[in-house]
Amino acid sequence: MKDILSGNLIIIGGAEDKEGKKEILNRVCNSIDKDKDILLIATIATEYPKEAAIKYKEVFKELKVKNIKVLDISERTDAFEELNVELIKEASLIFFTGGDQLRITSLIGGTSIYDALKEACHRGTFIVGTSAGASVMSDTMIVQGKDEESPRKCTLKMSPGLGLIKDVIIDQHFAQRGRIGRLLTGIAQNPEVLGIGIDENTGIVVNKSGVIEVIGEGAVYFIDGSAITYTNVSELHCDDILSMHNVKLHILTDGNKFDLRKKLPFEEEKFSHEDNTKENI
């Protein structure tokens, strides 16, 4: 896997704590200089942009961010406006709210805003997304699928995403909405990619070298289908249950790390109780 990432990403499974300790959003804000840098709230995914902007502005102000701006793209013509492009260029962190991930790609795909976003990624701008804003990060995204059901081919609808992280499919609200079936279906149809399911109030921090750190109170599920020995996905009728053999699953929690290039979890160091020293492994 080469050139997995365009930049620094923080991907959140939705329903992040906005009233308590706000640990995930605090981690987001600590990624920038809260006194000088601009945090841009992108409300593109939601049909209620004003309400979403007000809500996140309040939270980010509580977390001591001084320079907060809003990018509201409600029509494709807005995505060509130079003033909106300048908002992308001057931001140090761009935060995509939840809503409908297909709204994001349909409104900004192929536009000046999209080009500016890719350039911002390459410059090292932090791109953060929650819920729909999480799913849209990958080059292929799930846009529709039934929750809490066994995996079935006909229940899943996928579409191109923003492509800020490649060779993965990301699903959110994962355990809370019982979405393992639909992510397994996505992997059966695309066994070369890695499935990543992220619980609510949980996120992953992804750096340019392809290292993922899990943050938050839930779990992140990594589904690797590269070694699948059998699947009936190409033979399925709409009502048939998916059959897959030799699928690998990793479940990681807060502080755990994962190497996207190797598709494996790892520990940077371990603690030796015998000599009270840390050893590299």
Indicate which residues carry an active-site annotation. Answer: 131, 149, 173
3-state secondary structure of 121: helix
Helix axes 112-123, 101-108, angle to 10 degrees: 110
Angle of helix 112-123 versus helix 82-90 axis, rounded to 10: 10
> What DSSP line would sit under 61-101, residue for residue?
HHTT--EEEEE---SGGGGG-HHHHHHHHH-SEEEE-SS-H
For residues 140 and 225, give the distance between their C-alpha atoms in angstroms, rounded to a whole number: 15
Give first-to-last CA distance, the chain, whole Å: 23
Q: Please give the C-alpha separations between residue 265 and each of 32, 176, 221, 242, 248, in angstroms, as whole numbers.
A: 27, 23, 11, 27, 12
Distance of CA 252 to the CA centre of its chain: 15
154 DSSP assignment: G
Which of 202, 181, 185 lies closest to 193 in space, CA to CA?
Answer: 185
